[in-house]
Structure 1
Amino acid sequence: MPKYVYDFTEGNKDLKDLLGGKGANLAEMTNLGLPVPPGFTITTDACRRFLDDGTLPAGLEEEVSLHLAALEKQMGRRLGQADDPLLVSVRSGAKFSMPGMMDTVLNIGLNDESVHGLAKQAGGNERFAWDSYRRLIQMFGKTVQGIEAALFDDALEELKNGRDDLELEAADFQRLVETYKGVVRAQTGQDFPADPHQQMRMAVKAVFDSWNAPRAILYRRQERIPADLGTAVNICSMVFGNCGMDSGTGVAFTRDPGSGHQGVYGDYLQNAQGEDVVAGIRNTMSLQELEGIDKPVYDELMQIMEKLENHYRDLCDIEFTVERGKLWMLQTRVGKRTAGAAFRIAVQLVDQGLINLDEAVARVTGAQLAQLMFPRFGKDADSTKITTGMNASPGAAVGKAVFSSERAVELAARGEAVVLVRHETNPDDLAGMIAAQGVLTSRGGKTSHAAVVARGMGKTCVCGAEELEVSAKERRFTAPGGVVVSEGDVISIDGSSGAVYLGEVPVVASPVVEYFEGALDQDDELVQAVHRIMSHADASRRLDVRANADNAEDAARARRFGAQGIGLCRTEHMFLGDRRQLVEDLVLATSPQERERALAALEPLQKADFTGIFQAMEGLPVTIRLIDPPLHEFLPDYTELSVKVALAGERADDKDRRLLAAVKRLHEQNPMLGLRGVRLGLVIPGLFAMQVRAIAEAAKAVPGARAEIMIPLVAAVQELETVRDEARAILAEVGVEALVGTMIEVPRAALTAGQIAEAAEFFSFGTNDLTQMTWGFSRDDVEAAFFSKYLELGVFGVSPFESLDRDGVGRLVRIAAEEGRRTRPDLKLGICGEHGGDPDSIHFCHQAGLDYVSCSPFRIPVARLEAGRAALVCADSDTR
């Protein structure tokens, strides 16, 4: 029989696949001798079996019973014992942190009898016991029985009648228990389950089921967490932070996850249980204030935090409870952090000697670097400030204020920028948080749900703006001075300072972008951290990083951002604007002489374009793709031109008639699979020759220029040979050297790469078209049409146009790379599709043995970093 249950003393932090992150780290803290309440973990294997079969796996209940009996013996109490009850929590815990996305139930074991035994345990504290009982029914009803949370929340608010939670007495909570039991009876047709073992069994199943709750699925999709991992379940003996003012609960970080600065950071709430802090129901006090309330506990907590950070060699996120002056550790994990904090902390840990630079590069991501390059608010924005909250997650967010997640999703789908405004967020707000530019809450601390989730997503967040009176019902908030902001009014929030502004605040360039543009600010700590990380990534990477650039301006910017050449220069972009007329002349030519005149008019313009690009790249390689799209894309729309000619009748212009005839002649049912790419060069005499001559003349005019001529859409080696021979003849005539290669974007080309390499000196994988042709997807049509459904159904976890499909398209790339180099060992290999700037795709390119990736200029720093990370990850794997 497989082993499904592990005591906290049996695991360790390396068993996250089996025990989940929470269970593995509880075991690790237990092994370190830290004060962890005893308990045990049900494995992710059990969850996967349950989700597959719909029932608990055979033997699981027996294993749980054995471990529960051992826990009862250790604690000297039985689960739900009437006079002296053992209570437990049932908490989720997946391999990767998913804050608030899955279910937790506290105080399992309470019923009408054991509530009196709990009060006796607490020295006759009836208020604490009845408060704990109402919390169980509320959490159990919502998470296990599926009862709408508002039914419990409304009953609580009615009972409070404007009072604070701490003003409620034992009799109030006792009445609330009866009210809650009535809610359960009305909603389920059954009484609240009094049997503690039934409570625990139902809670375990609910936690397993919560793996596939809509919000969990949405979060996994957002964070690219595999759907087949499952969650572990942690059953832990309860400790209570709601025993009185000498008790409490808190969340702490070993350094600031918002900025990365070292120091005491966290929130504490007296006389509360853990969900009160995370939900932001009451505003918390800072962790420093705990020192004045209970210095021995504070000092012990500081020692434990230092021990954990040194042990994990990283920022740690900690949940703890104080029960009548006794400190208990409930969780630790490597904490989520903002992009800026990630870079600062990585460098700090290097300077402390805890990690080396290789590890520092591995600790940050290209996505985080991209966040640092976003604009931010200027310094002159104070004139419109209406309040200041807590700077929970940095960034500059501007948008229309909305007061529900549903409205945020609705407006964002229309292309409108929104800022989600709430009293506090909860896991059900995830869709709105994803859709919004930023999140603003009037309640909650820096460790509230809004703050933690926003930081994890890289989303701007200001929380705990207490001066705001938020009315979700009336869809407005009131700020100091009587300023009223209604839904649809534009606001701006600064997640770095916590400031909230009325109206749109102008943004300025990020200092990180200025650094990549060439300005290294010696006094900017973040810029210095980015510089150190990038320098080591550049020194470590094997892949070169080139740019997709079609003009001298983009080429110059790419060069400043660190491009080592141009991997894709699209010549068709040079035929737009005023030059479209020249393409029309080419299409309308009725004789060789007219065609030659049209080509002669285009050639000097092409030469000037290429000259500027060669000059900007200063001797670095420039891969120029000959014209690729169908010619009709440069002509007027067929329908519009037909209507124009029809309405004009006999008065129609002769040129329009000729143009309409040409458009009809070139019209294709499926133009992306029609007369384009290499086929144009073979069918239209002189077109490719004109482009090659312009490239050659430009290269000759710029000392050190390195041209690489790329033939698009080749499917057969014979196509390439014909164009290559013509190109080499022109190059020889002009007296310059240039590589001649092809773009691999047709599946047949990938499968016959060994033959094609006989005529090609380089391959560049055009993964945009290769993905379209491999999947049979029209990129322009399918993403909006049904990709959201495909993502929902799990057909793929991320769009194959966003991140390279390794199993299909990736296999074609590997085949082409291997067979091409078998024919021509010195064959140069690169990628120039949109995937060239995607972090996961870059790691694949490194593994597949490519020489370079090419991406848009703004993504070059991201590609440089990820290329370095890919090399270090592979090196680490080889070492192990």
Structure 2
Amino acid sequence: MQQADPEITLITDNAPIGIATHGGRAKCLQRLVRLSLPVPTTIALSFDEVHRIAAGENADIVRILAPFDDDQLLCVRPSSEDPDWGGPGAVLNIGMNGAQLEKLIPRVGAKAAARLYVKFIQSYSTHVARLDPDIFDDLDLDANDVVAQFLEAYEDEAEEPFPQVRGEQLIGVLRSMARAWEGTTARLLRMAKGAPAEAGLGLVVQSMVLGVGRGECGSGVLQLVSSETGMPQIIGRYQSQSQGRDALLIGPEAVFLEKDERGPSLEDQAPEAFEQLKVHAGLMRSKLREEMQCEFSLDGGTIHILDGVRVQRTARAAVRIAVSLALDGVIAQEEAVMRIEPRALNELLHRQIDPQAERDIVGTGVAASPGAACGRIVFSAAEAQASAARGEACVLVRRETNPEDIRGMHAASAALTERGGITSHAAVIGRGLGLPCVVGASTMQFQTRNKRIVAPDGRVFKAGDIITVDGTNGQVLAGDAPMVEAVLDDAFQTLMSWADDARDIGVRANADTPDDARTALNFQAQGIGLCRTEHMFFEADRLIAMREMIFADQPEDRSAALAQLLPIQRDSIAELFRIMQGRPVCVRLFDPPLHEFLPTDRAGLRDLAESLNLQLSDVTHRVEALGEYNPMLGMRGVRLGITVPEIYEMQARAIFEAMLLAAAEGAPIEPEIMIPLVSAKREVELVKTRIDAVAAAVRTEKGQDFGYRLGVMVETPRAALRAEDIAPHCDFFSFGTNDLTQMTYGLSRDDAGRFMSPYVQQGVFPEDPFHTLDREGVGELLKLGSERGRSARPELVLSVCGEHGGSPESIAFCRELGMNYVSCSPFRVPVARLAAAQLAIQDKLI
């Protein structure tokens, strides 16, 4: 009868059970039943049924209990759609009462029977009656009348007798678990884990395998791979005379599964059962097409499979597990690619503290999310977002995090909290983001109102001070610790090669330095999509020549100053060409306003006057004259290149000479030159004429012919709207979505953090447009620019080079527009490669 009822159904081969209606645990148990594994009798309650129970409707206890014998003890476990969303704890031994106690004594012994009853009383008191668990603290578990003591303590606190009818007990457990799931605290917790607020909960009611008694009785868990590495390894524990997951507490009674020199094992105590367990686990792996953790009980040496759950895993283990299943033919290569969340790769890619480095440890806590990062201390999500907008690494320090801090965690390099454990909000979110995180650092004093933290040795760290968070070892270090890069193993390389076979959009890296380029190449970037040449001028020895150029009044004086920068720029670009080994390199011409290269404080102005041999007053007046009310919308980019043409001429020469130097040592190179901040076709015409003239001069001087490709960075709305005018003069468009978003919204990246969180919370913006590309506004400009550009020049190459290029959601939009490639920061290249592959695979499945 239950089998025909989708709300309360006996789990059989063909029962109407689905993950979306009854949860993952119920569906997995059905799959185990179909494999003819020894699963105890189980009833599944649907999401709708549990919701009705939570709303106060009476559960149909007669229907639920129908498949079970009258004296059968029961357990209830949660069954959410995704096991990672959690749920209320399991309740065991439902049905224990005075009569059952007398029946069990001949079977398991008086002491064991009493322990079963007491265990249920404690669980029922906490989860159903909501009594304080410490009411039993003073009771003697070894006393002969222990059950009577516990019943009396319950009655005194609850002011009613402990229920003795199994059906009444079960109603209480079901109602309590249903209401716990729908409570505010539970909603917030699962939302922090990515679950919808209205996610449903199913419940499974199962025959209780006692795990205690004569013969080999007990419980344990087994899995065939390491959760840390994904390598084959029998993992788990077993404990005789125990129930549920007691073995995982790893007390003195828990033993290993297979033979181990460190101590006794299940293989020693029950070799036949151990071998049978391995067979069951192997069958679950091959038939369920997943690495599973098997929860089991032994009753007189007979195995019962109570549950199967997906093995918990780090990102590294997830990759190896997926690759191993594919290599073994259990799943297809494309499915292996689809199983890895792209952003989870961040955990593999994060750096670690150099093991040889000295550690100045100032605090310790729980190692909640692996990896290590340094940054300046900030005490709020808004400060973290503002810091990220300025390009400054920061560590978000909080007493404890909540869902409102998620955007700040997105922006931070690491997180540090005073409170929390391995399953706290900061820990869960940190692992999901691949964000190094230490929680529960209670050895330090967090004085958040005064914006400082105090180490146990008395040292004080204020907002803006630099610390290092080691989420692998749970340590907080003073200063900027030396780091080593992540090691990408063979499984990672195999997965990424499968991803590259599947994807249909290119992935390049934004790289300004040789180190950036090497990292990009290590991550298999197909080239450099954005090289910001101005970053090469900020070092001290180059800054003087740059300032001389800025202060020059005549073109010939500017050219003389730029001549000092030419070899530096040429050599830097040549090194990028060499590292990329013939892959395309897109060099963006000078973009920032000139004032960024000038000092603002009096000491700096005095040093500048001395280096230029000028009067301080003259230098001060000149710096003030170069100031702008809104420099990011002032004389920068192509506007500077047209009004001070010597800058772009020097850069063009440096690019061409660098190309010839590198080409002489390796593969031929056709450089890509990109003009920033274009808004009119005439700007392109003027710059192109000068670059062509420089190219002709270099060809004549070097006696070598070469070509180059010219493009524009589309980062003003007008450039997108007038793309059909600009495209005939270009080989490519690269959409700079950082500035394009800023200009489209009229929104400063530096200041948006002050109000972005309330804007998103109140639905003004669906998401921070600097994190996720705004399809409706900025996306419309990308669409118009792409269509109009290609209408004028069909072969026009299109790309995105803002940080949106590493966002899986943004890559999906770029594919829809028919873009040729995306470009992102080097560490986001693997994320982009995998996301692009998954999008291509999804298209095949539609």
Pairwise same-fold verdict (TM > 0.5): yes
Deviations 1:73-132 (A, max 9, x none): 22244xxxxxx47645151413x3326x4323525966xxx6224435535723312321
Q: 1:5 aligns with which of 4, 7, 10?
A: 7
- Superposition pairs of residues 404-483 of structure 1, within 5 angstroms: 425=421, 427=423, 429-431=424-426
Is 1:26 aligned with 2:29? yes
Measure, in 2, the Cα distance between the counterparts of 1:474 and 1:671. 42
- Superposition pairs of residues 816-855 of structure 1, within 5 angstroms: 816-838=785-807, 841-842=810-811, 844-855=813-824
Report the CA distance between 1:502 and its aligned residue. Answer: 13
Report the CA distance between 1:230 and its aligned residue. Answer: 0.9
Measured at CA, do residues 171 and 76 of structure 1 come closer, stay the same or move farther in structure 2, by a change above 3 Å?
Answer: same
Partner of 1:358: 334
Deviations 1:31-63 (A, max 9, x none): 33331431113237986xx9xxx984xxx958x
1:104 aligns to what SS in structure 2? coil
Measure, in 1, the Cα distance between the counterparts of 2:834 and 2:426. 33
**8 Å CA contact retained: 2:76, 2:206:** yes
Is 1:89 aligned with 2:49? no
Deviations 1:648-670 (A, max 9, x none): 9xxx9954323332333333343
Measured at CA, do residues 415 and 61 of structure 1 come closer, stay the same or move farther in structure 2, by a change above 3 Å?
Answer: closer
1:133 aligns to what SS in structure 2? helix
- Superposition pairs of residues 120-519 of structure 1, within 5 angstroms: 120=102, 122-123=104-105, 125-140=113-128, 151-152=132-133, 154-159=134-139, 168=142, 171-172=145-146, 174-176=148-150, 178-179=152-153, 196-197=170-171, 199-209=173-183, 212-218=186-192, 220=193, 225-228=194-197, 230-241=199-210, 243=212, 247-274=217-244, 276=246, 284-288=254-258, 289-294=265-270, 297-322=273-298, 327-364=303-340, 366-367=342-343, 369-374=345-350, 425=421, 427=423, 429-431=424-426, 509=484, 512=487
1:264 aligns to what SS in structure 2? strand
2:671 aligns to what SS in structure 1? strand
Report the CA distance between 1:329 and its aligned residue. Answer: 3.4
Report the CA distance between 1:315 and its aligned residue. Answer: 0.9
**8 Å CA contact retained: 2:401, 2:425:** no
Report the CA distance between 1:248 and its aligned residue. Answer: 3.7
Measure, in 2, the Cα distance between the counterparts of 1:115 and 1:361. 52
**8 Å CA contact retained: 2:468, 2:481:** no
Is 1:692 aligned with 2:652? yes
Deviations 1:254-310 (A, max 9, x none): 322223232432123444443645677887432333344455654443332122111
- Superposition pairs of residues 624-773 of structure 1, within 5 angstroms: 624-637=587-600, 640-641=601-602, 655-703=615-663, 704-735=668-699, 736-773=706-743
Measure, in 1, the Cα distance between the counterparts of 2:143 and 2:813. 61
Instruction: Report the more deviating stretch, 787-796 or 841-850.
Output: 787-796
2:227 aligns to what SS in structure 1? coil
Measured at CA, do residues 119 and 659 of structure 1 come closer, stay the same or move farther in structure 2, by a change above 3 Å?
Answer: farther
**8 Å CA contact retained: 1:376, 1:510:** yes
Report the CA distance between 1:211 and its aligned residue. Answer: 7.7
Partner of 2:840: 874
Deviations 1:593-632 (A, max 9, x none): 5444444544454334333333443433221111112221
Measure, in 2, the Cα distance between the counterparts of 1:848 and 1:770. 17
Measured at CA, do residues 393 and 250 of structure 1 come closer, stay the same or move farther in structure 2, by a change above 3 Å?
Answer: farther
1:75 aligns to what SS in structure 2? coil
**8 Å CA contact retained: 1:249, 1:270:** yes
Measured at CA, do residues 688 and 546 of structure 1 come closer, stay the same or move farther in structure 2, by a change above 3 Å?
Answer: same
Specify the code of the residue in structure 2 equivalent to 1:133.
I
2:128 aligns to what SS in structure 1? helix
Partner of 1:587: 550
Q: How many residues align?
A: 760
Identity of aligned residues (%): 32
**8 Å CA contact retained: 1:89, 1:238:** no
Measure, in 2, the Cα distance between the counterparts of 1:233 and 1:487. 50
Measure, in 1, the Cα distance between the counterparts of 2:443 and 2:698. 75
CA RMSD across the alignment? 5.2
Measured at CA, do residues 242 and 208 of structure 1 come closer, stay the same or move farther in structure 2, by a change above 3 Å?
Answer: farther
Measured at CA, do residues 295 and 713 of structure 1 come closer, stay the same or move farther in structure 2, by a change above 3 Å?
Answer: same
- In structure 2, stretches of 5+ residues that fail to align are 107-112, 161-166, 259-264, 361-365, 376-396, 403-407, 446-454, 460-466, 700-705
Deviations 1:718-747 (A, max 9, x none): 544443444345445544432221122234
1:681 aligns to what SS in structure 2? helix
Partner of 1:80: none
Report the CA distance between 1:136 and its aligned residue. Answer: 1.7
- Superposition pairs of residues 608-619 of structure 1, within 5 angstroms: 608-619=571-582
2:182 aligns to what SS in structure 1? helix
**8 Å CA contact retained: 2:592, 2:637:** yes
**8 Å CA contact retained: 2:80, 2:202:** yes
Specify the code of the residue in structure 2 equivalent to 1:132.
F
Measured at CA, do residues 680 and 701 of structure 1 come closer, stay the same or move farther in structure 2, by a change above 3 Å?
Answer: same
Measured at CA, do residues 170 and 741 of structure 1 come closer, stay the same or move farther in structure 2, by a change above 3 Å?
Answer: farther
Measure, in 1, the Cα distance between the counterparts of 2:730 and 2:803. 23
Specify the code of the residue in structure 1 equivalent to 2:115.
R
Report the CA distance between 1:878 and its aligned residue. Answer: 1.6
**8 Å CA contact retained: 1:104, 1:207:** no
**8 Å CA contact retained: 1:319, 1:330:** yes
Q: 1:41 aligns with which of 45, 66, 81?
A: 45
Specify the code of the residue in structure 2 equivalent to 1:97.
P
Report the CA distance between 1:709 and its aligned residue. Answer: 1.4
Measure, in 2, the Cα distance between the counterparts of 1:694 and 1:392. 48
Is 1:71 aligned with 2:75? no
Measured at CA, do residues 658 and 175 of structure 1 come closer, stay the same or move farther in structure 2, by a change above 3 Å?
Answer: farther
Partner of 2:89: 104
Measure, in 1, the Cα distance between the counterparts of 2:105 and 2:616. 96
Measured at CA, do residues 171 and 298 of structure 1 come closer, stay the same or move farther in structure 2, by a change above 3 Å?
Answer: farther
Measured at CA, do residues 684 and 175 of structure 1 come closer, stay the same or move farther in structure 2, by a change above 3 Å?
Answer: farther
Report the CA distance between 1:179 and its aligned residue. Answer: 3.9
- In structure 1, stretches of 5+ residues that fail to align are 78-83, 161-166, 187-192, 385-389, 400-404, 436-453, 463-469, 476-484, 514-526
2:67 aligns to what SS in structure 1? helix
Deviations 1:467-512 (A, max 9, x none): xxx998999xxxxxxxxx97999999997xx999999999885683
Measure, in 2, the Cα distance between the counterparts of 1:115 and 1:714. 81
Measure, in 1, the Cα distance between the counterparts of 2:43 and 2:782. 49
